[in-house]
Every structure is written in C-alpha cells, then in structure tokens.
Amino acid sequence: MKKKIYAILLLLFIVFIVGYYYLYYPSVNIHQTSFWTGAVVVCIILGIIFAINSIRYKFDRNQKIKNFNYLPFISKMFVGLAVVLFLVALVGNIIGSPMLRAKKYASLLKAENKDFASDIEETGQITDLALMDTESARIFGNRKIGSLSEVVSQYEVESSYTQISIQKFPFKVSALKYASFFKWWNNRDKGIPGYVKVNPVNSDAEYVELEHGMKYVPSAYLNYNLMRHVQLRYPTKIITGHYFEVDDEGRPYYICPTVTARIGLFGAMDVNGIIICNPVDGACQYYKIPDIPSWVDNVYSGNLLCDKYNWAGTLSGGFINSIFGQKDCKRTTDDFGYKIIGDDVWIYTGVTSVNGDQSNIGFVMMNQRTSEAKYYTVSGAEEHSAMAAAEGEVQEKGYAASFPSLINVSGVPTYIMVLKDNGGIVKMYAMVNVEQYNIVATATTQNEVFASYKKLLKTKGGNIKADIETETSEAVITVSDIQFINTEDGTVVYIKDNSHNIFKQRFEENELLIKISAGDTIKVIYEASEDGINYLSSYEFVADAAEDGL
C-alpha cells in the first residue's frame, strides 16, 4: 500500500512537471533564476511526498511531532538538497552583484571616444535615419492591411515593429498575426501569408505577400508557437525574446537572442549568441556572436546596450562612488533613435550626468549587431528639450514631435525630427541645434527645412563653428506663371518659367516676391531639388536680358 501511494503521487507529480514545462517551456540553465526556484520547489515537494506515510502514521496515533527524526532518509535528503540549492543560488547572486563586482560591470562595454564632425558624415538629405517612430509605423501598417479585405478578415499586424537595414536603407517590418485561436485553427495549414514593410523616411507602407506562409509564429498555438518551438529545440539556452527580420532578398526570419551571466550566477546578463528560425518550415540554427550572418541587425537590444553603457558610466569609479560621490558618473537618456551605418543598425542616445539636469554632455552610438560603441563629446540640449522647442515653433497646430535623430549639418550637431498630427501622420520636419536649441527650423519638406536651418546658422549661429556651404545655382528666367498657395506652414510662392522649371519660397522669408508678375525677366539664385521643385534663395529683376535657362 505504501509503495502504491508513492507511485501514484510521483506519477501525478511527473505529469504536472511535464505539463508545466510544455505550457511555459522554461530554460534549463543554471544562469536562470527560475531554474533554481523550480529545483528548490521540486525538492521540497519530493520531500513531502516521501514523508506523507510517516506524517500520516503520527497523526493516526495522535503522536506529537517534536522533531523530524521520524522522517525517512530520502525525505530528509530532498529537503536538505533544497536548502543547499537555495544557499548556492543566494551566494551566486551576491557574488554577481554590482556592489561587489563594480569594476567588472564597468568593463563589459568600452566606448571609443570619437570626434563628431569628422566621424559622422555630413547630411544633406535623410536616407539613413528612421525618422518615423513605431507608433506611426503601426498606423501606416494597419491602414495598408485595412485596404486588403481578404487579409484583414483573418489576420492583424503585430504591434511590434523591428528596425532593420535592407541594402543600407532603413525599414521597419512587422509580420501579420492570427486574430484569434479559431482563425489560427482554420489557417494553420497555410500559415501567415505576409508581412508589412514601412519606410520610416518617406512614410511609405508596403504589404509583402510570401510564396509560402509562415507557420511558426508568436501568435500560433501548440507546437507551432514560435517561442515554444525554439525553446524546446534548445532547452538549455536562455532566450530573451524574438525579432522579426527579413534578409536583403525579402525572406522572413525570426531572430532569438540568447543570453548568459557574465558575472556570478545571475549578474550582467549579456548576449552570447542567437537562434535564427525560419518561420516557414521551422528550421532553426544557433550562431555564436562571431559567426552571426551580416544581414542580421537585431542581436543586442537597444535597452541592453543602454544598460551596458550605464554600467560603464556609473560603476567605473566603484560602487560607493556611484551612490554617494558620483564623480564622473554619467548615464544615457531615457530613449534612443536609430541610424544606418553601412549595413548595420546603430542606436544613438544622449548622455547626461546622473544629477539629471536638462542637458547632455555627449552622445553615444552603439551597434546592435556587434555592440561596438562610440562616444562623442557634444554638450547641449537633451532630446526632450529639443522636442519641446520644435513643438513650440508650431504650437498653434498642436503637432507632436517624434524622438529626434542626430545628424551632422556642416560640422554642427543637429537634431532632426518629424512633427505629427493627432492621427500620427507626419506633417512637418523640424531641425534643432544641439548647442543652442533656440535655433529651430520647421518646414513641410526636407529640402526646405535644411535650407531654412542653414540660413539660421548663418544669422543666429553666433559662436557656433560651422562651415556652411550651400550649393546654389543661378539662371535668368522669364516668368510664365506665379501662384501664392496657402498651406498649413504659411503662404508658399511658386514661380514657373517658360521652360516649365519651378521655384518656390515661403512668402514670409521674402515679401518682395509680391512684385513679380508673369512675363517678368528675373535672375534667380536657387538650390536644386531632386523632385524638380527648386528652392529659391533670392532674385533680382533683369532689364532687357536674354534668358539663360538652367
């Protein structure tokens, strides 16, 4: 009878463990705190199971329990093992704490000091920055899918968008997901039919239909659930999440970073590799850091990179200094942007003192694939102060600024951002000088905001050292038409010549434009534009002049 009870209880316990493991698929790894918690709980339960008959024997005879000598040896062994496991985990946690290993934490990331003006290439037009934030990407992605009736009835767009580089241009991508369990059940054989690709530079959204559907995705169930599928393939890996990416040919993959503790048992969790899963057929491959394919962009998350920089910035002088003296302690601001350099995605964020003042002492850029870090000593406005300055320029419109990107304009560190309406639609561009954030330019196009900002640098730049070089051209034209168009950004004057060339300028910049009439011959100085609508810098009347053309 005694053996039968043990067998039943053990069988029920094993069924519970197997069911729990399948439902929650925890990693079996000593650097995972849940592993030690689970091991302690299992030992305690086993100790109780093997003690049940002895405890029942005592109660059946109304005997008082004065000590635990009556328990069987195997029960004592499991309880003792639980105590030992708890103590090992506790000591391992203490050994890996920043209080004891501050210098080790600080050494996990080394940021190389760089000169901003020489290291960051000058920008004349935005092609490598993700100006659009994820919130706006969701709006454009949902609208695109909303126009596809055969897709929207069964699927939705995942709320998370991944910033990637495709052939050195920035894109945000997100896979579709099943709208419910029953829609997964009805479509599980053909899988997810496609994904959404959003260009964060020009706000263009595209739905990409796949030749073969993706079956192993986060929104699937049972064995087709992505995280369950990958974790059961690699039960000893600590998988921190997943990123949806596509390679340069548009093939979809899920990138699952794996981490391990660098200090003690649980301290300084850092990436040690990735698992790439093909969601079409479920094939998985593990790569160590040096072997990761070059098209993969998301190995180190932006939050992890900021944590690593903060460890270096606050703990390099020791743990006590980070709490009390805080000499030379610095940390990143509370958000970050993205920039494409080569074929890699870099995050950038401001660096401020731990005292929390509203200014930056520098900027740090960190590579999401390699964790390479570069630090630039540039003092000036903190990102949110720059956002407020840009919003203040158009406060009557009520636009909200996106988190800014950092660019080099004629050697001058400059924030650039988009201004959005209440519906998340990009309405304007804004540029704010980092060193003097009262220098703010806004416009409806990139060409205009660059031209306006450079003019402000010339007139209001003061002691800012900048080599403002604006490529201008000049021509003598005969005006065939002139129109004054009212826009949300004010009145814009459009001039067309006999050769159908177009020049434009904001009326508030030059009210003398009112003197121009059709048939006048004028000499124009302008900045050429790729879209054929050139930005007019200045003009003067020409008496009896022949038209030179462009």
Task: Give CA–CA dist 36/16, Å, rounded.
Answer: 18
pLDDT score of 147 more than 90? no
- What's the pLDDT score for residue 234? 98
Nearest to 516 by CA among 486, 550, 482: 482
**Other beta carbons within 10 Å of 219:** 20
Nearest to 430 by CA among 392, 470, 459: 392
Task: Give CA–CA dist 289/304, Å, rounded.
Answer: 15
Range 256-261 average pLDDT = 97
Model pTM above 0.85? no
Can you count the helices (H) and strands (E) in the chain?
13, 28
* DSSP string over 201-253: TTTEEEEEEEEEEE-SBTT--GGGBHHHHHHHHSTTSEE---EEEE-TT--EE
pLDDT score of 12 more than 50? yes
pLDDT score of 393 more than 80? yes
DSSP 308: H
Give pLDDT tens digits for 95-116.
999 999 999 999 999 999 999 9
E-state strands within 425-472: 426-433, 440-443
Q: Which pLDDT band holds residue 37 (cuts at 50, 70, 90)? A: very high
Per cent of the chain over pLDDT 90 is 58
DSSP 376: E
Task: Give CA–CA dist 444/203, Å, rounded.
Answer: 14
Range 433-457 average pLDDT = 87
pLDDT score of 545 more than 50? no
Nearest to 49 by CA among 29, 79, 24, 18: 79
Cα dihedral 402, 404, 407, 411 in deg (nearest 10): 120
Give pLDDT tens digits for 270-304.
999 999 999 999 999 999 999 999 999 999 999 99
- Grouping H, G, I as helix, E, B as strand and the rest as coil, residue 518 is coil
Range 316-322 average pLDDT = 93
Task: Give CA–CA dist 104/183, Å, rounded.
Answer: 50
How large is the angle between the packed helices 33-60 and 73-95, nearest 10 degrees?
150
Question: 69-83, 117-131, 510-524: lowest mean pLDDT where?
Answer: 117-131
Query: What type of residue is 135?
Result: E
How many residues in the chain?
550
pLDDT score of 450 more than 80? yes
Give pLDDT tens digits for 44-61.
999 888 887 666 655 555
For the chain, report the end-to-end CA distance as a whole number of angstroms.
Answer: 103
pLDDT score of 488 more than 80? no
Average pLDDT, the chain: 88
- What's the pLDDT score for residue 401? 93
The residue among 321 and 51 whose pLDDT is bigger is 321
- What's the pLDDT score for residue 369? 95
Q: Which pLDDT band holds residue 406 (cuts at 50, 70, 90)? A: confident
Q: Which pLDDT band holds residue 532 (cuts at 50, 70, 90)? A: confident
- What's the pLDDT score for residue 282? 96
Residue for token digits 């899920």? 254
Establish how many alpha carbons lie within 13 A of residue 65's alpha carbon, considering only the half-sphere containing its beta carbon.
12
